Amino acid sequence: MQQYFSALERGAEAKKDPLWGFELGKQITSAQYGLLGYLVESSSTLQEALDALLAFDKTVADIGVCQFSIVNNIACITWQPYENNQHAILRNMTAWIAMVRHITGKPLSADSIELNVNVSEPELQRLTTWFSCEIKGKAACNGIYFDAELLSHPILTKNEFVSANLYPAIQDLQRTYESPSNWLGQLQPTLHSCDLHDMSLLRLAKVLATSPRTLQRQLKSHDLSFSQLIEQERKRRFTQFCCVLNKQALSERLGYSEQASLNRAVKRWYGMSPSEYIRTTNSQ
């Protein structure tokens, strides 16, 4: 993942484009999702395609947590990456819309889109023009909101043979993802939702319905201690929320009882204060 993020950053620097991830996302087609992409193209409706994406998304790349909900006929897809890279977020969120337009043959648009990225007013206008809907930057999470009736929209092509053969293949991939060897990846969504204020090895083991000894053994097999695991999660939360939450709220999110603990942690991670890190990030 670090190589992927580095490649995105180098591309943005070479193109001198702060919205480089957005430009990449516009070019995404379902074929670039491999087996999953073909399965999406063989769906009957957007609902069926979305079901396939939600069920098998991690077989393509396990880089975040995707959730779907409908409230008062407004559907919402939220996506939270494990690590907060602006270009990766822009690429992924743009790709969702680009792929929908590709498989329906229609210039469909969401009602609104929220992005956990820093964008200037000209950049926001550029995004708004292509997405054709309201765009909110510096949001707490990444979300696409749209009329639930769009879910019944038909896909251009329906290939029963491809669908019948790809589902078993992708289910095999999913079983591989769910195997014990990928235990750490499966742990991430649970860890992201935990309250870190009083998190302990015993408490996390209870959440995971396992014993502290088993949890410790699994962490050791991944060359991790419990304290390193919590440190990684705090660092991830800081990079994800530092630009959208004030220091007090940020300290709370990271499980610190005082801002001084946050300051020391960021100094340890990046060699600078939280304010300096945010200024540096915003200037990039």
Residues 199 and 168 in one domain: no
The CATH code of the domain that includes 219 is 1.10.10.60
Region 6-10: what's the mean pLDDT? 89
C-alpha distances out from residue 135 to 16, 93, 114, 222, Å: 22, 12, 6, 40
Residues 57 and 185 in one domain: no
Rounded Cα distance between 133 and 22, Å, is 15
Residues 95 and 28 in one domain: yes
Residues 110 and 229 in one domain: no
* Mean per-residue pLDDT over the chain, rounded: 84
Q: Which domain holds residue 267?
A: 180-283
Residues 169 and 184 in one domain: no
Query: Could you tell me the pTM of the whole model?
Result: 0.62
Residues 270 and 142 in one domain: no
Which of the given ranges, 58-72, 77-91, 97-111, 189-203, has the highest pLDDT on average?
Answer: 97-111
| 3-state class (DSSP) for residue 144 | strand
pLDDT at 255 over 70: yes
Residues 23 and 42 in one domain: yes
Region 166-184: what's the mean pLDDT? 62
C-alpha distances out from residue 260 to 267, 274, 279, Å: 11, 11, 19
- Reported as a single tens digit per residue, the pLDDT across 214-233 is 999 889 988 889 999 999 99
- Residue where a domain stops, chosen among 176, 195, 213: 176
- Asked whether 97 and 131 are in contact (CB, 8 A), the reply is yes
Residue 260's pLDDT is 93
pLDDT at 42 over 90: no
Residues 169 and 208 in one domain: no
- Reported as a single tens digit per residue, the pLDDT across 78-119 is 988 877 788 999 998 999 899 889 888 899 999 999 999 888
Domain total for the chain? 2
Residues 191 and 278 in one domain: yes
- Residue where a domain stops, chosen among 176, 208, 241: 176
